[in-house]
Copies of this chain bind each other. A is one copy, B any other.
């Protein structure tokens, strides 16, 4: 695999970059593939050589953006140290990430929200990543014996219980308020529950 494994990759990312610039400038509702093409001095038909549809282009944009958010979370999940600590830091970081993006990157967040509504594959991938990270933390806690109550459903259950702190609809509804303390308490409750044999 050379850095340029595919030739068209270059054009592909140029298109994504241009689309992201326009998205940031005008918001998700005004993003037209004709405009993306115009910004690059190419015909819009050519964009369709690289992306099957506007939805696909849009989805990849969101996926790229979400990928950037996932880095810090993956790092925490992979760290050594006691699982309960990591769970709390992981959850708090997730909450903070989402909260920051609502106010700090509103166009992208709106795009993410829109993609989430139509349950696009980019968002599903994001959720799958988060789920996997959570599963790893919980499995570790089980293995070390701190959390005997961990089962195959625990990741799903924990994710559900903390979703009010990261789900776009609810994060936005709370005006991106900092609910870290409430989240910390919920995590403590869950932690205690998982410890019970």
**A170 interface contact, C-beta 8 A:** yes
Q: Mark A153-193, 1 if CB is under 8 A from B, else 0.
A: 11011101111110101100100000000100110111111
Q: How far is the CA of A164 from the CA of B165 in the complex (A)?
A: 10
Which residues of the other chain, B, contact A74 by a CB distance below 8 angstroms? none
**A195 interface contact, C-beta 8 A:** yes
Q: How far is the CA of A149 from the CA of B165 in the complex (A)?
A: 22
Q: How far is the CA of A111 from the CA of B47 in the complex (A)?
A: 41
Q: Which of B157, B170, B173 meets A189, CB within 8 Å? A: B157
**A102 interface contact, C-beta 8 A:** no
Q: How far is the CA of A34 from the CA of B80 in the complex (A)?
A: 66
**A196 interface contact, C-beta 8 A:** yes
Q: Mark A21-38, 1 if CB is under 8 A from B, else 0.
A: 000000000000000000
Chain copies in the assembled complex: 2
Contact, CB under 8 Å: A192 / B186: no
Q: How far is the CA of A122 from the CA of B195 in the complex (A)?
A: 40
Q: How far is the CB of A145 from chain B (nearest CB, A)?
A: 16
Which residues of the other chain, B, contact A87 by a CB distance below 8 angstroms? none
Q: How far is the CA of A169 from the CA of B189 in the complex (A)?
A: 25
**A146 interface contact, C-beta 8 A:** no
Q: How far is the CB of A186 from chain B (nearest CB, A)?
A: 5
Q: What are 21 A-to-B residue pairs whose CB atoms are below 8 Å?
A: A149-B189, A149-B192, A153-B182, A154-B189, A157-B185, A157-B186, A157-B189, A160-B164, A160-B165, A160-B186, A161-B164, A163-B164, A163-B170, A164-B167, A167-B169, A170-B170, A189-B190, A189-B194, A192-B192, A193-B193, A193-B196
Q: Which 4 A-B pairs have the closest CB atoms?
A: A193-B193, A192-B193, A161-B161, A189-B193
